[in-house]
Structure 1
Amino acid sequence: MSSYRIALAGNPNTGKSTLFNLLTGLRQHTGNWPGKTVIHAEGEFRHLDTDFTIIDLPGTYSLYSNSADEEVARDYIIFDKPDVTLVVLDATSLERNMNLALQVMEMTDRVIVCLNLIDEAKKKGIEVDSDLLSKKLGVPVLKTSARNKTGIKELLDTVHEMAKGNIKTNPYRMTYSDEIEAKIEELAPKVRGMIGDEFPVRWISLRLLDGDESILHSLNNHFKKERTKGGYSNVSINATT
């Protein structure tokens, strides 16, 4: 069969690219994302007799499409549906990094959190209870140091099991104010009626409520591409949906 696809997401300076280089070695290539000036890095690796393709998404602090990097990362997770999204966090600065992980978990349930730079955290006297964090987040949480190759086998074993469908998750979902939750509840059925359940309806509804026009653009582009392949009929999303 074809390779399982792994998306590598994370803030800048979390060691994400170090992990990417460690896994792929020379089996990687770079270019630009279609229609973007954003660098696209992709590579291959093999683990437990299984082939994987790993996509190093642009380093971002959020997925709110405030930049081309954020838009690229967001669209890949939503529309390309990687078998696993591996979110790399800096173990020395979890509070700052956790925002991205929470956003990813609103978009997909196939998430693994990688607490990287764990060696630096220990030097600073920071101890992270990964088991407790995993229970709170509802997804696997693994400690690593890509630079020292610590915890990599355990991480890849978990990636392998999730890609194979052997790990079920229950990602933590953000709860907003009563007013926002009521608006989401009102809008979500309309969004679902237009795009079905193939995409994260709640998250897309939230972005529409926030006035994110780029998600409309991305949805319409996706459906336009699918129409050319005969995948959808004339679906079109607009701000008045």
Structure 2
Amino acid sequence: MSNEYRIALAGNPNTGKSTLFNALTGLRQHTGNWAGKTVSLALGTVQHKDKTFNLIDLPGTYSLFSNSTDEEVARNYIVFEKPDVTVVVLDATSLERNFNLALQVLEMTTNVVICINLIDVAEEQGIQINERLLTNRLGVPVIKISARNKKGFPMLLDTIDRIVTGVIECNPVQVSYPAEIEAKIKIIEPKVREFVGDQLSARWVSLRLLDGDETLLNEISNRVVAGGGLENEYSKALC
């Protein structure tokens, strides 16, 4: 059994995501392009206990709706490359704004850690964050850190370790949408599952079809369903 695991770092710009990446990997990093895109990804390694965590610093984005190359690269890496764990870095002083991206990631993949950075700045501003309550409500571990001061790193790495070894089982919360949208998901989802199986979240793909995401449809056709197959479901979703 391999002791190497891929850990993706996602987050809004200016959340300290790259600061965390640099602090964890030090000089053990390099850059490379991915999936034929011009966007460079920073890659680095962290040794923890008997394991090697290969970190991928995804482009900073406010959403994963493929409205830009950065969003498309970040989304496609999480969905199609299937990292062992996705760490979503949030700014402790702007949680409400940052949670938009976090909830999107929770719809896309299961093994997620919510990493609340800048906790020292938040505490200076009198902001108190109950990570245990958030963990219970989100269904995934929530860890508070200060990347600048390297505070909380042992807990973060131990949590990643416990996820990849199966000690922690993540059960991300399912976001509920208005009744009309949920009704359409209920119709589309079984058909989508016939095409994607357990390779992708059928519910998430259904949501993206309802939103008219043609770029995702093309990616699925190229990567998952050779020769297409979801075009009819896409057409139905737009009706």
* TM-score bracket for the superposition, by shorter chain length: over 0.9
For residue 145 of structure 1, give the secondary structure of its aligned residue in structure 2. Answer: coil
Partner of 2:153: 152
Cα distance in structure 1, aligned partners of 2:52 and 2:171: 26
Post-superposition offset of 1:238: 4.0
Conserved? CA contact 2:7–2:53, under 8 Å: yes
Distance verdict in 2 for CA 1:217–1:78, change over 3 Å: same
Paired residue type of 2:172? P
Distance 1:237 1:31 in 2: 32
User: CA offset at residue 68 of structure 1?
Assistant: 0.8
Structure 2 distance, partners of 1:136, 1:189, is 27
CA RMSD for the aligned pairs?
Answer: 1.2
In the other structure, the counterpart of 1:54 is 55
Q: Where does residue 161 of structure 1 map in the other structure?
A: 162
Give the distance between the partners of 1:176 and 1:165, measured in 2 at CA.
31
Other-structure match for 1:3: 4
1:105-120 mapped onto 2 (5 Å cutoff): 105-120=106-121
Q: How does 1:120-159 map to 2 (within 5 A)?
A: 120-159=121-160
* Partners of 2:76 and 2:123 in 1: CA distance: 35
Rounded Cα–Cα distance in structure 2 between residues aligned with 1:211 and 1:80 = 23
The letter for the 1-side match of 2:94 is S
| CA deviation profile, 1:110-161 (whole Å, cap 9, x unmatched) | 0000010001101111110111111111110010001001111111100111
Answer yes or no: is the 8 Å Cα contact 2:3–2:50 preserved in 1. Answer: no
Kindly indicate whether the alpha-carbon contact (under 8 Å) linking 2:28 and 2:45 is maintained by their aligned counterparts in 1: yes
Paired residues, number: 232
8 A Cα contact 1:136 1:172, kept in partner: yes
Alignment of 1:56-205 (within 5 A): 56-205=57-206
> By how many angstroms is 1:178 displaced?
0.8
Partner amino acid, structure 2, of 1:82: P
**Contact 1:113–1:141 (CA<8 Å) still a contact in 2?**
yes
Query: Which AA in structure 2 matches 1:90?
Result: D
> 2:6, 2:180 → 1: CA distance?
38
Q: Distance in 2 between matches of 1:195 and 1:115?
A: 33
Deviation at 1:2, TM superposition (A): 5.1
Aligned to 2:236: none
The one-letter amino acid of 2:74's match is: A
Alignment of 1:200-239 (within 5 A): 200-223=201-224, 234-239=226-231
**SS of equivalent residue, structure 1 residue 60:** coil
Gaps of 5+ in 2: 234-239
Residues 219, 237 of structure 1: 8 Å contact kept: no
TM-score, length of structure 1 as denominator length: 0.93
TM-score by length of 2: 0.94
Task: Note if contact 1:89-1:113 (Cα within 8 Å) is conserved in structure 2.
Answer: yes
**2:232 aligned partner:** 240
Residue 173 of structure 1: how far off its partner (Å): 1.1
Sequence identity percentage? 61
Q: Helix, strand or coil for the counterpart of 2:207?
A: helix
- Stretches (4+) displaced over 6 A: none
